[in-house]
Each structure stands twice: as C-alpha cells, then as structure tokens.
C-alpha cells in the first residue's frame, strides 16, 4: 500500500500461481483502499492496442496520474513465451516510475483472463494507481471477461482489417464504451469510422452512446480526444461505480465457482462412472443426456454421503 513495486510484483505472481498465501494477502487488501479507473483495451491482433496504451499512459503521466498496465498474453501459459514485442513498444511508458507494467498469461479454462487479472487490478489499486489499463486480445470469451474487469472498455479497429462486420457480429462492437479506429494514416480510415458509427447501438437506457474516434496511436494523433472520452465515460460510470463493481465481482465469483465445482468434480471422477459413461456415449450406446443425468446423480450422492451409489452398467 506504500506503492512498493517489488512487493506488488511478488503478490501478483503469487496470485497468478494460485498460491494460498497470495489469496490471503489479497483478502487483507480487499476492498482496495484506493479506487482506480480501470480501462480495458481490446481489438484484433496488431490493431495497435499496446501502442494506444503506451500513448494514453504517457498522456496520463503528464497529468501526474499513476498508471498500472496489465497485458494479457493470449499465446502462452505461465512462464512460457515472452511479451518482448509488447514490452518494447511500451518501453516509453515504462521508463517512468509512476507506471507499473505487468504481463500475464491467459489461462485456458473459463475465467481465464479474469482469474489472476482481477487480483492484479486489486493490487494495483491498493498501490494507489489512478488508472489501470488491461490489454486483451479480442477473442470472444476474453472480451466478455474484460467486461467484468473494466469500468471502461476501449475497442480498437483498423482500416486494414477486411471484414469489420464479422467482428461486429462477434460482439466486439457491443462491448465497446469507446470505439477507436486506429491507424488513421492508412487509407479508408474515415470510411471505416463512418461504417462503424452506423452500427453503434443508440444510447437507449444505458445513457451512453459509444463515440467512434480516429486515432494514429504511434504518433499520438487523436490521443487528447481519446483521453477526453475516457474521462467522460469515467464520470458517467462514477455515480454507481461501487454497485457496478460489486455486481461484477459477484459475477466473477460465480465464474470461479464453476471452475471450482468442475475441479472438485474431476477429482472425484474416479469414484463415478464418468469415464465409463463417456465411453458409452462415444460408442453410441448411451445418449449424452442420460450420461450426464447418471453422472450428476452419482455426484450428488457423493456430495451427500461421501460414498458412491451402486453403479448401473449400461449393458445390464
């Protein structure tokens, strides 16, 4: 809470490794003493997310804000691979000691992006960061998870990308509170901006219509307007932020619970007919509904009594 970076880095590592010590420390910090404006940045590979975060971070640093950055690496599990490219592109921002950058591996199970990132956000807030930015590759599930992590979501498109409509269908557009068409120096940028604008949902009950902004992140052109939109959305969400956060954390707890239940269930699977029933399904002897019904009933029995009911063999 004094802002020591090494402690923060260590705590995030513990959380990332799902170490009980890390979770204990996290519960001591909860709820964070200081609340940050959490900005999620998503978009296709190479759209300029890191460059945008770098530019926005520098801009915020100039206003004496403290910034934390979490980059979610989609390509590798913990300890593998590197974010060297991202690190290099974010170097400018990293030079300042007011900024803290952390990369995390994306997990392969549900709740992947969120699992450690929620903890990391709490650590960064406790450190006193005013802004926390999360970079996440726009890939279905991780976008939805970003929704449960961030106060403001910035979606990044580029004119280079051929089939924008596909992305819109995939929901990238819907989750954006601010939509950026980056690489405005490329041909057709304004056409793409106008095309996207036509698709942006009206404000409706949300009370907020996502602005569609042109940006050239590598030159910082348009970054002022982006910063203004981020601030405006921050104000917009401010009034019921605590409620929203609480809602999001409750939802996250449910995601974790699903994971936990599945984990415990798998651990018990040798005591149930799980393997056998799946084999029966595989060979076409049992239908999937009956298989799940059978396994579910067994599991319920284990939960109640700690013992397995008499198994029913499908050939009987």
Ligand X SMILES: Nc1nc2c(ncn2[C@@H]2O[C@H](COP(=O)(O)OP(=O)(O)OP(=O)(O)O)[C@@H](O)[C@H]2O)c(=O)[nH]1
CB of 161 to ligand X, least distance (A): 11
Tokens representing 90? 């974010």
Q: Compute the least distance from the CB of residue 209 to ligand X, in Å.
A: 24
Q: Which stretch binds Mg ion (CB under 5 A): 9-17, 86-94, 277-285, 304-312?
A: 86-94
* Residue 198: φ, ψ to 5°: -65, -20
* Beta-carbon contacts of residue 232 (< 8 Å; ≥ 6 apart): none
Judged by beta carbon, residue 139 or residue 292, the one nearer ligand X is 139
Task: State the minimum distance, in angstroms, from the CB of residue 155 to ligand X.
Answer: 11
Residues with Cβ within 8 Å of residue 118, at least 6 apart in sequence: 148, 149, 249, 252
Q: Which does 183 bind (CB under 5 to 8 A by kind): Mg ion, ligand X, none?
A: ligand X
Taking the mean position of all CA atoms in its chain, how far away is CA 61? 24
Closest CB to ligand X among residues 160, 259: 160
Check: CB of residue 110 under 8 Å from CB of residue 48.
Answer: no
Is the Cβ–Cβ distance between 128 and 3 less than 8 Å? yes
Buried (b) or exposed (e) across 52-61, using 16+ Cβ within 10 A? bbbbbbbbbb
51 binds, among Mg ion, ligand X, none (CB under 5 to 8 A by kind): ligand X
Which residues, numbered 184-223, are part of the site for Mg ion (CB under 5 A)?
none
Q: Quick one: 220 or 276, whose CB is closer to ligand X?
A: 220
Which does residue 129 touch among Mg ion, ligand X, none (CB within 5 to 8 A, set by kind)?
none
Using the minimum distance from each CB to ligand X, give the nearer residue, 70 or 137.
137
From the list Mg ion, ligand X, none, partner contacted by residue 185 (C-beta under 5 to 8 A by kind): ligand X
Q: Which residue from 86, 151, 177, 280 is in contact with Mg ion, where contact means CB under 5 A?
A: 86
Binding footprint of ligand X on the chain (CB under 6 A)? 43, 45-51, 86, 89, 137, 182-183, 185-186, 216-218
Closest CB 43 distance from ligand X, rounded Å: 6
CB of 49 or CB of 233, closer to Mg ion = 49
Point out the residue whose Cβ comes nearest to Mg ion. 50
Give the one residue of 44, 50, 136, 155 binding Mg ion; rule: CB under 5 A: 50
Instruction: Give the separation between CA 89 and CA 61, rounded to whole angstroms.
Output: 17
Element housing 37 (H / E): strand 37-43
Which residues, other chains included, contact 164 with Cβ-Cβ below 8 Å and sequence gap of 6+? Answer: 157, 192, 195, 196
Partner from Mg ion, ligand X, none binding residue 132, C-beta < 5-8 Å depending on class = none
Question: C-alpha angle 300/302/304, rounded to 5°?
Answer: 70
Q: Which is nearer to Mg ion, 94 or 259 (CB)?
A: 94
Return the residues of window 133-162 that contact Mg ion according to CB under 5 A: none
Q: Is the preceding peptide bond at 128 cis, omega within 30 degrees of 0? A: no
- In angstroms, what is the minimal distance from the CB of 119 to ligand X? 22
Residue closer to Mg ion (CB basis): 22 or 48: 48
Alpha helices in 84-183 (DSSP H): 84-89, 91-94, 112-126, 141-147, 164-169, 172-175
Q: Which stretch binds Mg ion (CB under 5 A): 47-55, 148-156, 216-224, 297-305?
A: 47-55
CA distances 58 to 55, 77, 151, Å, are 5, 29, 20
Q: Please, what is the minimum distance in Å from the beta carbon of residue 56 to ligand X?
A: 12
Is residue 308 exposed (0-12), middle (13-18) or buried (19+ Cβ within 10 Å)? middle
Give whichever of 189 and 277 is closer to ligand X, judged by the CB atom: 189
Binding site for Mg ion (CB under 5 A): 49-50, 86
């Amino acid at each position: 809470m004094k802002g020591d970076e090494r402690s923060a880095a260590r705590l995030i590592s513990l959380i990332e490794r799902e170490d009980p010590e890390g979770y204990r420390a996290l519960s001591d910090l909860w709820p964070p003493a200081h609340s940050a404006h959490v900005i999620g940045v998503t978009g296709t590979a190479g759209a300029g997310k890191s460059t945008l975060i770098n530019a926005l971070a520098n801009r915020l640093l100039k206003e004496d804000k403290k910034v934390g950055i979490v980059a979610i690496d989609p390509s590798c599990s913990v300890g593998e691979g590197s974010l060297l490219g991202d690190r290099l592109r974010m170097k400018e921002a990293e030079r300042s000691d007011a900024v803290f950058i952390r990369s995390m591996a994306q997990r392969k199970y549900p709740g992947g992006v969120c699992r450690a990132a929620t903890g990391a956000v709490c650590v960064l807030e406790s450190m006193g960061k005013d802004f926390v930015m999360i970079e996440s590759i726009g890939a279905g599930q991780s976008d939805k998870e970003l929704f449960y992590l961030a106060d403001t979501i910035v979606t990044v498109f580029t004119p280079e990308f051929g089939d924008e409509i596909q992305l819109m269908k995939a929901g990238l557009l819907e989750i954006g509170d601010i939509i950026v068409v980056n690489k405005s120096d490329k041909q057709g940028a304004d056409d793409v901006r106008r095309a996207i604008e036509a698709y942006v949902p009206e404000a409706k009950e949300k009370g907020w219509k996502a602005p569609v902004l042109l940006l050239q992140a590598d030159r910082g052109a348009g970054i002022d307007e982006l910063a203004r939109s981020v601030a405006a959305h921050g104000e917009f969400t401010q009034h019921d932020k605590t409620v929203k956060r609480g809602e999001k954390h409750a939802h996250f707890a449910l995601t974790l619970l699903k994971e936990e239940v599945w984990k415990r269930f798998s651990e018990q699977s040798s005591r149930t007919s799980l393997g056998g029933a799946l084999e029966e399904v595989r060979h076409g002897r049992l239908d999937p509904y009956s298989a799940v019904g059978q396994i579910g009933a067994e599991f319920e029995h284990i939960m109640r009594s700690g013992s397995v009911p008499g198994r029913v063999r499908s050939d009987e």
